[in-house]
Chain A
Amino acid sequence: MEAKTKDLWVFIETNEDGSPKKVGLELLNPGRMMADKQGGKLVAVVIGDNVAESVEQAGIYGADQVIVVEGPEYKQYTTDAYVKALYHLTEKYGPTTIMIGATNNGRDMGPRFSSRVKTGLTADCTSLDIDEETGNVAWTRPAFGGNLMATIMCPDHRPQCGTVRPGVFKKPEAGENKAEVIKEEFHVAPRPSRGCQRGSW
């Protein structure tokens, strides 16, 4: 996909009650540094149900813009609905970078999303920067059971994507909420016919 902007997106994963998972807010911290170096906006993408609190927090912790997709079909995470929504937003707005918290859901959604876009995804990063020479994100991650660190880049595909390990970065300082909020109406069938449903063992 072509990047239409220099914007950096942070995916804010929500709990079932609509509050944000910590890792999304943590990522606004390196996200700010990287968005500034990239010369674009820091955008928080919130998907969930009744997400007012998450939208507010994303603004308080420094997002320039918050894009919101809201609906009962997003109350519980499903691969199908979340990947469709994130894909739709990406196609429409064309960010240059997307960061996703490496929670179980984030690592379920990330590769499904990046392979739909046909772009690169760096897994479970623990350190982030912008490469001065090329302007690409330099994603650093452990491999070989933590015995090796690798710095990975995705030079020719956009958006460049990575999942980032929770607890590595601290939440930024809270500040005045100046974020512009964009509500996107995007809905998917609540129960995909072939798909996954919660049940009991």
Chain B
Amino acid sequence: MNILVCVKQVPDTTQIKIDPVKHTLIREGVPAILNPFDGYALEAAARIKDKDPGTKIVVVTMGPPQATAVLKECVGIAADKGYLVSGRTFGGSDTLATSYILSHAIKKIEETEGKFDAIFCGKQAIDGDTAQVGPEIAEWLDLPQVTYGLEIEATEDGFKVQKEAEDGMQVIGIKSPCLITFTKPSFDPRYPTIKRKLMANKAKFETLGDDFDPTMDAANYGLNGSPTHVKKSFTPPVKSGGMKIKEETGEESAKKLAKILVDNNIV
């Protein structure tokens, strides 16, 4: 089995603070991390490899040179190889443009690594938060897709995926090659081992630069090749803090809550 996992380096948005005067994001000092949902996608691939040790896991990231850090982290966890897609002309790409570049990068990587049976993505990146790049890559590559995956099992001709639906859980059978995006499962992903970390420190990653595929149409990527544009950004109004109810007993708290809800016409 040959699996590609798309991973993105993101700022740890749980540590982002807002400048109270300028109303902008303070990015300095915010650690850059592996997008957590991509960690779940990698764990799904690792679990397939646990059962079928012949499996090869390749990771790809698009971003500035320092994004190699997430490739390293992935090798420390479970990946066999990693590729960096990095070029000045790629900057400013929206999701359609990003998926265009990544889909070409995937075809390029397949020339070396062989056809992928599956491409795994995170459900969404915690910075852009769009959850669009996965399905868009699937469209460019004409692959069937399952989104919101939780758990996965290989079958004879593809995979069985347990996915999150609005009204509970669904199980979908999908044939390979295919693309699957993953959300947070009920288990924690594994940590890197010391042995793998040492391996990761020595790992070299090939870079696909601006001209990695001369057939790519520059009208389809970068700031100018992106259909959507961010016109303005601002910080949301501060939410007024909640209310704490802590009476002597649970019963009294419940009564007080019920009274507040009734008095305010909420129930």
A121: CB under 8 A from chain B?
yes
Q: Are B144 and A153 in contact (CB under 8 A)?
A: no
| B143-186 residues at the A interface, CB under 8 angstroms | 144-148, 151, 160, 162, 164-166, 170-175
Q: Which residue of B lies closest to A79 (CB)?
A: B145
Tally A-B pairs: CB < 8 A: 151
Q: Return A114 CB to nearest CB of chain B, in Å.
A: 7
**Selected interface stretch from A39-47, A140-148, A176-184:** A140-148
Query: Smallest Cβ distance from B123 to chain A, in angstroms?
Result: 9
* Given the contacts A146-B236, A148-B233, A154-B228, A115 and B140 also touching, CB distance less than 8 Å: yes
Interface segment, one of B70-78, B128-136, B196-204: B128-136
* Total interface residues in chain B, CB < 8 Å: 52
Q: Please choose the segment from A27-35, A61-69, A105-113 that sits at the chain B interface, where 4 or more of its residues have CB less than 8 A away.
A: A105-113
- Are A194 and B175 within 8 A (Cβ)? yes
Interface string of B83-105 (1 = CB under 8 A from A): 00000000000111001000000
- Given A107-B131, A144-B16, A144-B127, A152 and B230 contact (CB-CB distance below 8 Å): yes
B14: Cβ under 8 A from any A Cβ: yes
Chain B residues, CB < 8 A from A198: 170-173
Most buried by B among A145, A156, A157: A145
B140, A147: Cβ atoms under 8 Å?
no
CA gap between A123 and B13 in the complex, in Å? 18
User: B172 and A120: CB pair below 8 A?
Assistant: no
User: Quick check: A104 and B147 within 8 Å, CB to CB?
Assistant: yes
Is B229 on the interface with A (CB-CB < 8 A)? Answer: yes
Q: From known contacts A104-B147, A148-B235, A149-B236, infer whether A196 and B25 are also in contact, taking CB-CB under 8 Å.
A: no
Residues on the B chain within 8 Å of A141, using CB: 129
Taking a contact as CB atoms closer than 8 A, the residue among B16, B126, B229, B233 that contacts A155 in the complex is: B229
A199 within 8 Å of B (CB atoms): yes
Instruction: Please list 21 pairs of residues, one from A and one from B, whose beta carbons are closer than 8 Å in the complex, sorted by A's number.
Output: A79-B144, A103-B166, A104-B165, A110-B132, A110-B135, A115-B135, A115-B139, A118-B227, A121-B130, A124-B131, A143-B233, A145-B13, A145-B129, A149-B233, A154-B228, A192-B144, A194-B144, A195-B144, A196-B172, A198-B172, A201-B171
